[in-house]
Amino acid sequence: MKKKILLFFGTRPEAIKMAPVVMALKGCKEFAVKVAVSAQHREMLDDVLNNFRIIPDYDLKVMTENQSLFDVTARILSRFEPVLKTERPDLVLVHGDTTTTLGGSLAGYYLKIPVGHVEAGLRTYNKHQPFPEEINRQLTDRLSDLCFAPTLQSAKNLLRERIPKEAIYVTGNTVIDALLWTAKRERPVQDDKLRKAFSSPHRLILVTAHRRENFGAPLREAFRAIRELAAKFADTLWVYPVHPNPNVIQPAREELGRVPRVVLTEPVSYPDIVAALKHCSLALTDSGGIQEEAPSLGKPVLVLRNVTERPEAVKAGTVRIVGTDRARIVREISALLTDRSLYRKMANAANPYGDGKAAWRTAEAIRHYFGFRRSRPPEFGV
């Protein structure tokens, strides 16, 4: 009899990273696969679903205007419960560190349904950075029966926390699967401003910033650094797809809206982001996904955070943490834009996050868990 697998996610980053897992599991004859989405992020989620041609079996539609963490958490739990009671899956798969992740794993635990956590074990051990993602991820790992660690370091974190060794599989990060799949599919750039930026002779700098812990003064400080750098380097063009959160939109418009060679766009599709990564000289970001994706395309990454749960890239030299201090951001980016040897060193460093086979390893690990495979699958980085 086929085992029922229910994948549950709700934001754009989760959807990007779970799409390869959906495809890999649907290719396994032993599984009956269904997808439920919380729609914690509505439009940005739908863009990814369309790109990967995923049609959810359940849509909880939890997103509301100016939603709080309390509201989202409560709606996810109350709306996911009847889905689980109807489907009674053999395994619930969640991803990463969002409120949807925590809500989905907690709901599965309440109903004594096994939970698998894709991208488990990432840690800063600072419960406020990233907020609330660090605690979401730690709690989800404690609630999970299977932990799919993207790297050996994340697996070591889990072992230190006494997660059973047999529950941990090192798979690589599925975002690399999604990135490589999307990069191979040549398609016209959809966003007009982005298309125009690609034809510019200027060096393109991609900016993404939306982290909750950076709201307020830290975000404005970072934007003022961009303003200073744009004035300092006349051969640069700064492209920033602005996150729809009002806490991001307002300061972005006020600080950067009229700055020459700074282009603010609406959120762009995932294929457009991949295209931007291919075209840019470097990325300035507080996003976890960009830290993993950009090195695969040979692009240095400067991180607008004080700590990162992805230290492997920092150790490898592809990523550098700069925080949100204006002077430090200006200093670090100026060095990359003027020192060719420093730039080449970061651009040519090896990506420690994956080889495009993480979804396959995840599916094989689940086959092993259910007894459809005798031996454990080969692990990434081992």
Q: Is residue 56 part of a domain?
A: yes
pLDDT on residue 203: 97
Same domain, 342 and 361: no
Domain count, the chain: 2
Find the helix or strand (DSSP H, E) in which 167 lies.
Answer: none
Same domain, 199 and 162: no
pLDDT on residue 66: 79
Same domain, 148 and 230: no
Same domain, 114 and 148: yes
For the whole prediction, is pTM greater than 0.85? yes
Q: Is 379 a catalytic residue?
A: no
Q: Is residue 42 part of a domain?
A: yes
Pick the catalytic residue from 14, 47, 87, 133: 133
Q: Is 332 a catalytic residue?
A: no
The answer to whether the CB of 279 falls within 8 A of the CB of 202 is no
Residue 75 sits in a domain of what CATH number?
3.40.50.2000
Q: Is residue 186 part of a domain?
A: no
Largest Cα–Cα distance of the chain, in whole Å?
Answer: 65
pLDDT on residue 175: 95
Same domain, 157 and 209: no
Same domain, 24 and 101: yes
Q: Is residue 184 part of a domain?
A: no
pLDDT on residue 231: 97
Pick the catalytic residue from 243, 305, 310, 361: 243
Q: Is residue 195 part of a domain?
A: yes
| Coil, strand or helix at 295 | helix
Same domain, 305 and 323: yes
Same domain, 80 and 107: yes
Same domain, 8 and 144: yes
Pick the catalytic residue from 14, 90, 97, 332: 97
Same domain, 162 and 24: yes
pLDDT on residue 75: 95
Q: Is 95 a catalytic residue?
A: no
Full residue range of the structural domain in which residue 314 is found: 191-347
Q: Is residue 180 part of a domain?
A: no
Q: Is residue 377 part of a domain?
A: no
DSSP 32-89: EEEEEE--SSHHHHHHHHHHTT---SEE-----TT--HHHHHHHHHHHHHHHHHHH--
Q: Is 212 a catalytic residue?
A: yes
Q: Tell me how far apart the alpha carbons of residues 29 and 363 are, in angstroms, rounded to a whole number.
A: 11
Pick the catalytic residue from 14, 87, 119, 177: 119
Q: Is 46 a catalytic residue?
A: no
Same domain, 82 and 140: yes
Pick the catalytic residue from 142, 202, 203, 212: 212
Instruction: Give the pLDDT of the chain (382 residues) as one tens digit per residue.
Output: 899 999 999 999 999 999 999 999 999 999 999 999 999 878 888 989 998 999 999 999 998 887 899 999 999 999 999 999 999 999 999 999 999 999 999 999 999 999 999 999 999 999 999 999 999 999 999 999 999 999 999 999 999 999 999 999 999 999 999 999 998 887 889 999 999 999 999 999 999 999 888 999 999 999 999 999 999 999 999 999 999 889 999 999 999 999 999 999 999 999 999 999 999 999 999 988 899 999 889 999 999 999 989 899 899 899 999 999 999 999 999 999 999 999 999 999 878 898 999 999 999 999 999 999 999 999 998 6
63-66 contacts, C-beta under 8 A, 24 or more apart = 63/39, 66/246
Pick the catalytic residue from 210, 211, 320, 367: 210
Sign, CA dihedral 68-71-74-76, equals: negative
Same domain, 299 and 359: no
Q: Is residue 379 part of a domain?
A: no
pLDDT on residue 320: 95
Amino acid at 304: L
Find the helix or strand (DSSP H, E) in which 237 lies.
Answer: strand 236-241
pLDDT on residue 43: 81
Q: Is 97 a catalytic residue?
A: yes
pLDDT on residue 314: 92
